[in-house]
Chain A
């Protein structure tokens, strides 16, 4: 059954620590995305990757980093430089970047930093 897997579902960290969120897809999609969602708000784009070994900053990339070494995987690192890291993080993928292909989302990781 194809889909996007985000793990873990809940993550707790102390302030000042870096943390990496996992995102794996078996849909053979070229493009992958990371969004952040805060309570009562829409999603904001952090980073996206059109293809393996390529990625671009989204609207709120400061304090985050990504890598795209494999087509299936697009991990997101929340660094200590991110001022308000507590949020719900959503990973998505789509067949291609340029075409009108719908995004498929994972079920998210809820990160709490104290």
Chain B
């Protein structure tokens, strides 16, 4: 059972920041938030993950609220190639068993 809630779809203008929200209100203290994306007919690609501090890498930033019940993935300057399904995942209680929900379809438009 997915533990996260994401909007079904979002649009973003090319060159603007894309902010993808995720609710995970039942997250427990030792569970990480992961973000992956999947371009059509390809395997998912890891983007970023975090526990409670904000994280940034070359692809994106992850902002986690202080109560950890929600997070936002930020793509700072979206391009057409960022059009994909974005999955927000809370890692299961043990091991590396990730549960993928339906994700958010992000459409970047010129």
Contact = CB atoms under 8 A, between A and B. Distances in A.
Chain B, interface SS category: loop
Contact of A108 (B34, B41, B46): B41
Contact of B91 (A48, A100, A104, A110): A100
Nearest to A102: B46
Interface residues of B, number: 22
Contacts of B101: 42
Contacts of A104: 46
Nearest to B45: A105
Interface of B: 2, 32, 34, 36, 41-46, 49, 87, 91, 95-103
B44 A90 contact: yes
A7 B98 CA distance: 23
Given A102-B34, A108-B41, A42 B87 contact: yes
